[in-house]
Chain A
């Protein structure tokens, strides 16, 4: 090209400035498209990172067993329909299995907790002492549920850190009495703050009592004489023994449930990494989905660019004719109009990236999600907007370049 790049950009800017409002509105389409891609991808990435870190925070080397064969990774609630529930009795023999360090059957229910005139609705989890092994280092002070608490069905409770604030006004509750479902319990310990819950865990209000007390005192499901549990959490001795433990648990439960060869399990055994990969794949899909929606707006913006460039080519037919008359070749005209479209879309892309990063930091500041504007998403959005410029600019530019000089000159 005989015209150098900066001359071309300067003349493109002049042409775009000739219709300031029109150029600005056209660019706005690209700005919104690119901004949406950057903002939504950053929100998606941020959500993924926070979910991952929360799942990793649940506990180390943790295996979760629940009844039914749901694909959902939510490790709570009773099993689906006709499948046999897991029971407290079944949990006991799991303890001696290879690779198993601790077995923590749990029964969950929501209950009203009262202290003097204050009350709140919290998740009550009936546990055994093994819970503290599966989730180490979670007790703030006092003591956790002991083996004798379980065998004596003691009415003792370890409260979540949020309960201290909500019911006791920040004073130490150890030794005080609270009422759960109208029954008096003695507070023996306080859990550490886990940070805000996320995905309905509400871990800082969760309160623990002996599992036997939960069966005896709180209305939980009983099947015949057996006591059904919500989940059995099993802690593997170390990361390498997780697979061994899963195999042993599966085999033992199949025997206990009388499942014959070739029949499907009526329970699910998941390791934390299973849960993590399920969550990662869901949030990954979500991110792609958000990006795709944003991508659609970028394509719409690109069509806007193309539309305006076609109008511009028609309006400037005589200019094109003149340029050809004084010696512009086909390539010169193509280059000129392509530069205009690219200037529009790249400028719009840069503004859009700034706008998207702005939205992202607003979401960050709001505290909902820690958003992450990744270099990849910026490059993707920028590359996409440039590609939009070339793709949607090529047709109008080609049309301009293909005009016959004499017809273009005589165009009215």
Chain B
């Protein structure tokens, strides 16, 4: 359950300041599939960073599963990111010279769990890459790399999947396949999916669309 009340984010820019978010309030229930859409500069990436606990807001209150995120220490935030949130980025952000399996295993190294290898392998199988586990990112296609990234996001079994322009670096056919995979994971696992995109066609996959413009919800 994501509850956001009157969130603002202000970046100082020399003499002036930029209000990336200017009083955003929204609620996302567990198991929802929401698209956050808007043109570039609308503040959607800033909102996603705040929801993902990668950044803290200047003002307002953000409650994740009832807990006030602003009160958490850096280490608690790291634990929240590790256990509750899975990230998928536009640039995939896989570690080079590291096999798909080890890339997927990475979040497990930062949590106290057993059977890391098996769990990473299972996550790769779930995204259809069971036969690619020893491949390194430079040996995989863009679509395959994004699948590895999705497997990495899911391996800790988070309740929220945050995807920032997940199809931005892919051709439209591969992009559609990735969106289909995300849709399937949403259906089968009941996971909350939040996709940030500027592309209305991608946003159309979602159950609900939140439109942002100039830092406010339309």
A interface residue numbers (CB < 8 A to B):
2-3, 7, 14, 18, 318-319, 321-332, 404-406, 409
Contact = CB atoms under 8 A, between A and B. Distances in A.
Contacts of B78: 324, 327-330
Nearest to A407: B55
A107 B112 CA distance: 85
Interface string B80-95: 0111000101000101
A409 B88 CA distance: 12
B97 A18 contact: yes
A337 B83 CA distance: 24
B131 interface: no
Q: Which 10 interchain pairs have the tightest Cβ spacing?
A: A327-B82, A326-B107, A327-B110, A406-B54, A406-B55, A329-B78, A405-B54, A322-B93, A406-B49, A329-B75
Interface in B49-96: 49, 52, 54-55, 74-75, 78-79, 81-83, 87, 89, 93, 95-96
Contacts of B156: 326-327
Contacts of B40: none
Given A326-B81, A326-B106, A14 B98 contact: yes
A321 B89 CA distance: 12
A10 B65 CA distance: 37
A253 to B, nearest CB: 80
B10 interface: no
B90 to A, nearest CB: 11
Given A14-B98, A327-B81, A329-B74, A2 B55 contact: no
Contact of B107 (A319, A321, A327, A406): A327
A12 to B, nearest CB: 13
Contact of B110 (A14, A319, A332, A406): A332
Contacts of B79: 327, 329
B166 to A, nearest CB: 14
Given A318-B93, A330-B75, A409-B93, A325 B110 contact: no
Contact of B97 (A14, A326, A328): A14
B98 A404 contact: no
Contacts of B89: 322, 409
A405 B50 CA distance: 11
B121 interface: no
B18 interface: no
Contacts of A3: 109-110
Interface string B95-130: 111100000001101111000000000000000000
26 contacts: A2-B109, A3-B109, A3-B110, A18-B96, A319-B95, A321-B93, A322-B93, A323-B106, A324-B54, A325-B87, A326-B107, A327-B79, A327-B81, A327-B82, A327-B110, A327-B111, A328-B78, A328-B110, A329-B74, A329-B110, A331-B75, A332-B110, A404-B55, A405-B54, A405-B81, A406-B54
B152 interface: yes
Nearest to B91: A318
Residue from A327, A330, A332 having most chain B Cβ neighbours under 10 A: A327
A224 to B, nearest CB: 90
A324 B110 CA distance: 9
